[in-house]
Chain A
Amino acid sequence: MNIHEYQAKELLAAQGIPVPMGEVATTPEQAEEIARRLGGPVMVKAQVHAGGRGKAGGVKFCKTPEDAREKARAILGMDIKGLTVEKVLVAPAADIATEAYVGIIVDRASKMPVFMVSSEGGIDIEEVAATNPEAIFKLPVDPRYGLLPHQAYLMATRLYQDPRQQRAAAKILQQLYAAFIDAGASLAEINPLISTPDGEVLAIDAKFNIDDNELFRKPEIEALRDESSEAPAEVQAREAGLTFIKLDGDVGCVVNGAGLAMATMDLVKYYGGEPANFLDIGGSSNPEKVVNALKIITSDSAVKAILFNIFGGITRTDDVANGIVTATKMIDINVPIVIRLTGTNEEIAVKILADAGFSAMTDMDEAVQRAVALAKGEAQ
């Protein structure tokens, strides 16, 4: 799950990290009022779940409250990577002397949380990583002991020369680690971590990615979810326990397992079709999941054929068959359905489908080819 910058900053501030907070506005007038209250120049920043906001024109410096109002007017409603900006953060503009990068991620390679810090922070940090990797210092953390004080201090000495700033940065790194663990994050970063001309160290921008698997035990983090920033079908799918991603094609796909779902999409394309979605019904599927999957897919008017590709392991194919029969009674489906079922309880599944007037195929390639032909109107 992604959270907004202002929410990430609240998590940092809760640990005691110095963050010039500001407030969120949804209208230009609110932005003006907040800027007036803050006094002095402000930054107006688009709050969307996408990187590269600055480069897209979604982050602006404003000298006056009136300026903040006009910049907010331009940014609100702006489209950034397919997402509409509904909110802006109005935050005090800080005087920047230096920009550093500090981040922590669960690293697949070392199988541990790994800190990365660089004194060359800012929006070009990825370029620094590519062209000058020595400028980035990495430190794995054993989560059984946490970030040790001397480790935090070692990283701080890579960022600053001044002892006062080193102490401040070491403390911020400890607090960032605590925020990362408390939130159940898979990534937490501050970029930039700035120093001011007076020598203060401040977090100016922050990003967190939350591990979805943590949400069951972190209701306070789940509460940060902003459904208005997600596609409605994706919200509906998540509530039904499905993984769904909308695509641009016309062959609706219902598959169990992410790997097979991706391979099915690849095969639709291989045979000249275009998948309308990625949809994984997961394991342990009950009939209700299938009903919900069909509801979501049929609400997309671009879909011209629906393809079920189910290979039962922990998923029982008879559950899927029952779901298909129930769903077709409940909802009006006006497009052809191609069903491919193999694996656990397939004899029962084939019988359930046959009794309801459906035929099931067993070969994946044949089923995909048929669905592609039906979507194109080349088959009956």
Chain B
Amino acid sequence: MSIFIDKDTRLVVQGITGRDGSFHAKQMIEYGTQVVAGVTPGKGGQTFEGSVPIFNTVAEAVQEAGANTSVIYVPPAFAADAMFEAADAGIEFIVCITEGVPVLDMTRVRPYVQEKGARLLGPNCPGLLSAGKSKVGIIPGHITQPGPVGLVSKSGTLTYEVVYKLKAAGIGTTTCVGIGGDPINGTSFIDCLAAFEADPETKAIVMLGEIGGTDEQEAAAYVRENVTKPVVGFIAGQTAPPGRRMGHAGAIISGSAGTAEEKITAFRENGIGVAQRPVDVVDLIREAL
């Protein structure tokens, strides 16, 4: 098993003819993902790499090619509409890789997607990879192998670092999910923890967080109440200098400065093992298994 994507995932790539879209579409096909369609307005009727049909709209990709999942590689100015379009077309799972989407756009996209009954991952995220089955996004395929660990992270490259170290130690993953670090995104730590808890093949969970906000603290409280599987955590930004903060609203609304120290304490108090270095995740996971 795995979470969110597997061998039955039928993917449409929004922005398949762009630099990033075309490069990563090839990488996903090589990994074994069923890429059933691409979308680039104005290029409908062409094919990508001689085999993947390109459509003008996501609606056609759903009707003609049976796509149920989409991945978005379009520039920030068009990302919000790409997410609205995927939701309107009946896509069940939307993964937005695009970095730099205005946060006010996301305040509109998120409730819209939810009301359509779809799940959104991202934006500004690396996507996800169910080892040996399917990958959607940009996580390099060769850095992990099938195994018992579920991983959820705010940061793309830090995810790669940790799964790469786990693989070097002979430990594989069920699914690695990068949720992205933007203030408003579709899928949270808690959504992934719940899915990993329900997945029988996942035996232990790694959670990689970073400074800012209170997502990690809330996830830690959730772990205590709802997760029976062992959880190991790491927080990046322990040495980051405090910014020159402007205004009072941030501190008023969260009652928290979002420091690494606060998050590490929340992890420890809720029974989550804390790695001091990324490589220390390996030992903690080995003990947990």
Cβ of A335 within 8 Å of any chain B Cβ, yes or no, is no
Task: Identify B249's interface contact among A104, A258, A267, CB under 8 A.
Answer: A104
The answer to whether B236 touches A262, judged by C-beta atoms less than 8 angstroms apart, is yes
Interface residues in B108-152 by Cβ distance below 8 A to A read 108, 110-112, 126, 138-140, 143
Task: Identify A105's interface contact among B156, B164, B213, B250, CB under 8 A.
Answer: B250
Determine the chain A residues whose CB is within 8 A of the CB of B247 once the complex forms.
Answer: 51, 103, 187, 189, 207, 209
In the bound assembly, the distance between CA atoms of A269 and B238 in angstroms comes to 10
The answer to whether A129 touches B251, judged by C-beta atoms less than 8 angstroms apart, is yes
Q: Which residue of A lies closest to B123 (CB)?
A: A213
Determine the chain A residues whose CB is within 8 A of the CB of B238 once the complex forms.
Answer: 262, 266, 269
The answer to whether A312 touches B254, judged by C-beta atoms less than 8 angstroms apart, is no
Determine the chain A residues whose CB is within 8 A of the CB of B111 once the complex forms.
Answer: 142, 144
In the bound assembly, the distance between CA atoms of A113 and B76 in angstroms comes to 20
Cβ of B154 within 8 Å of any chain A Cβ, yes or no, is yes
Cβ of B261 within 8 Å of any chain A Cβ, yes or no, is no
Cβ of B259 within 8 Å of any chain A Cβ, yes or no, is no
Determine the chain B residues whose CB is within 8 A of the CB of A278 once the complex forms.
Answer: 240
In the bound assembly, the distance between CA atoms of A184 and B106 in angstroms comes to 12
Task: Identify A106's interface contact among B104, B181, B244, CB under 8 A.
Answer: B104
In the bound assembly, the distance between CA atoms of A187 and B156 in angstroms comes to 27
Interface residues in B208-254 by Cβ distance below 8 A to A read 208, 210-211, 213-215, 218, 234, 236-241, 244-254
The answer to whether B277 touches A126, judged by C-beta atoms less than 8 angstroms apart, is no
Interface string of A263-296 (1 = CB under 8 A from B): 1011111100001001000111000000000000
The answer to whether A258 touches B181, judged by C-beta atoms less than 8 angstroms apart, is yes
Given the interface pairs A111-B107, A211-B104, the reply to whether A189 lies near B248 with Cβ below 8 Å is yes
The answer to whether B183 touches A106, judged by C-beta atoms less than 8 angstroms apart, is yes
Cβ of B24 within 8 Å of any chain A Cβ, yes or no, is yes
Given the interface pairs A138-B253, A314-B138, the reply to whether A213 lies near B236 with Cβ below 8 Å is no
Determine the chain B residues whose CB is within 8 A of the CB of A216 once the complex forms.
Answer: 76-77, 100
Kindly state the interface size class of chain B when it binds its partner. 35 or more
The answer to whether B181 touches A283, judged by C-beta atoms less than 8 angstroms apart, is no
Query: A256-B157, A342-B160 known; 16 other A-B pairs, CB under 8 Å?
Result: A82-B244, A105-B253, A108-B183, A114-B253, A129-B251, A144-B112, A213-B102, A255-B157, A259-B210, A260-B155, A266-B238, A283-B156, A284-B19, A311-B160, A313-B157, A365-B277
Q: Measuring CB to CB, which residues of chain B are less than 8 angstroms from any residue of chain A? A: 19-20, 23-24, 27, 76-77, 97, 99-104, 106-108, 110-112, 126, 138-140, 143, 153-161, 164, 181, 183-184, 208, 210-211, 213-215, 218, 234, 236-241, 244-255, 276-279
13 A-B pairs with C-beta separation under 8 A: A49-B246, A108-B184, A113-B107, A116-B252, A144-B108, A187-B246, A207-B247, A245-B241, A259-B156, A266-B238, A266-B239, A313-B126, A342-B143
Q: Measuring CB to CB, which residues of chain A are less than 8 angstroms from any residue of chain B? A: 2, 49-51, 81-83, 101, 103-109, 111-114, 116, 125-126, 129-130, 133, 136, 138, 142-144, 181, 184, 186-187, 189, 191, 207, 209, 211, 213-214, 216-217, 245, 247, 255-260, 262-263, 265-270, 275, 278, 282-284, 311-316, 342-344, 364-365
